[in-house]
Chain A
Amino acid sequence: MEISDARKNSKLIIDGVLYNVEEAEFTKPGKGRSVYRLRLKNLRDGGIIDRTYRSGEKLDEARLDTQDEQYLYREGDQYVFMDIKTFDQHPVPEKLLGIKKNFLKEGMEVVMLMYGDEPIDVTLPITIDLKVIETEISTKTATITPQMKSSILETGYRIDTPSFIKVGDVIKVDTRSGNYVERVSTGK
């Protein structure tokens, strides 16, 4: 592919290594040449590198497949998923999951991105509903902006929520940003 076609989340092979494009930035001094700056994540060790390309340069795009998998359990820093067709199990290292590790509930179905036999990335729903298991007692200080406080969800994820959220409430969380969206239901 041409460098001009590289987008965020394009998967590239550079010197035999698989990378995800984390950021693709097009810059161009008004009268000068186009310069593309890619921030790349090594999909095996999570390492980040920056590369600069000029217009017209070619990239080697990785061919990837997707399959439906189920999240089973966590073992140390590995998260184990299972192909729901073949029952093959795939451990995924924690650092590949990034923020997504906070939204995995046992038994939930995800779409796994595969490079050959190797799991590369997990696609989650944009929002997910999670139960609040711990929260601060809200203080009744009068302010103009709504008060936020810290709460802990069933997956162990710590999140800022409005002060009216109580233990047992189920809230909707945006899995891309990790932010609170709304309360889905109240606990007993």
Chain B
Amino acid sequence: MVEDEPERLTRLGPNLQRRALIYGYIRDFFREQGFLEVETPIRAPAIAPEPFIIPFQSEDCFLSTSPELHMKRLLAAGYEKIFQFSHCFRKGERGRWHNPEFIMLEWYRTGANYNKIIQDIEQLILTLAIKLGLKNIIKYRGQDIDISLPWPRSTVREAYINAAGWDPVNEHDSLRFDTDFVTRVLPGFKTNRPTVLIDYPAAMASLARLKPDDPIVAERAEVFIGGLELANAYSELIDVKEQEKRFQEAIEQIQRERQQQMPVPDKFLESVARLPECGGVALGIDRLVMLFCDADSIDDVMAFTVDDA
């Protein structure tokens, strides 16, 4: 491109200003409800093993791909409502919606399930829109998006049957699940409203608990607005045996598919025994800022991406 660095940074000025405003409003939102802002290590000896999230190694440690495990260790020690803005790193993720280093907002509360967390997300984003003077309409990429509450929920099963003609809860095909999601399910979402996808197949539960009265699905939710995948919420898994089994399966899959040795997060597993019932969420701040800045690319809401760092 012909644009040099001072020109680019000047052009981004209004977006970076708005980004800072959003950070302030988010902190207000959580403090007013009695949440404690915490910080946890960016570099740690063990992280949650995820088959499709590739961590950067840093000597004998990993760079954080999410602050989840440390935040749950705080919950296990008695903290009830915590939030954090955290630098996260995921190798190879670069595109209009991705930068390998990005900011995740995570919050957790005890005594809550994923429904309560979805309500938190709704309240937070509506509050931000109001504080930014947008009321209940966000204009994004030429589309008016009505964010009045509550946002429509759809189960993963309904969404796939409607858009792709098959039921991923009964038929296990994770390869087809991901491809169909990008090519059929996501493009089929209503463009003028947010979408909350709930109840993922049990095999894709990750760190979510299974639904007590319907254990073929997990209490996991994802929020999409304007085609952006914004947040991933769980009723957190608090069963040590089950958590250990899932980690073991993920570690074996990573060993098989990427030939990478991942350690078991022992300290986290020890804390799970003390973990009370709780819910939590990871929300991509860069994408949230994209939404509120009507930005087409993540490059337009961060001062320095991996390409110009």
Give me the interface of A with B, judged by CB distance under 8 Å: 4, 25-35, 37, 52, 54-55, 126
Contact = CB atoms under 8 A, between A and B. Distances in A.
Nearest to A2: B92
Nearest to A24: B95
A30 B98 contact: no
Interface residues on B, range: 20 to 34
A165 to B, nearest CB: 23
Q: For the complex, would chain B's binding face be called helix, strand, loop or mixed by DSSP majority?
A: mixed
Contacts, number: 57
B189 interface: no
B52 A54 contact: no
Interface string B220-234: 001000000100100
Nearest to A53: B179
Interface string B173-190: 011011101110000000
A23 B282 CA distance: 29
Contacts of B93: 26, 28, 34
Nearest to B230: A30
Contact of B52 (A25, A27, A32): A32
Nearest to B181: A29
B61 to A, nearest CB: 22
20 contacts: A25-B95, A25-B96, A26-B93, A26-B97, A27-B95, A27-B97, A30-B229, A30-B282, A31-B50, A31-B204, A32-B181, A33-B174, A33-B179, A34-B52, A34-B93, A35-B179, A35-B183, A37-B182, A37-B183, A52-B179
Given A28-B95, A32-B177, A54-B179, 12 more contacts: A26-B96, A27-B95, A31-B53, A31-B206, A31-B232, A33-B175, A34-B93, A37-B182, A37-B183, A52-B182, A54-B175, A54-B178
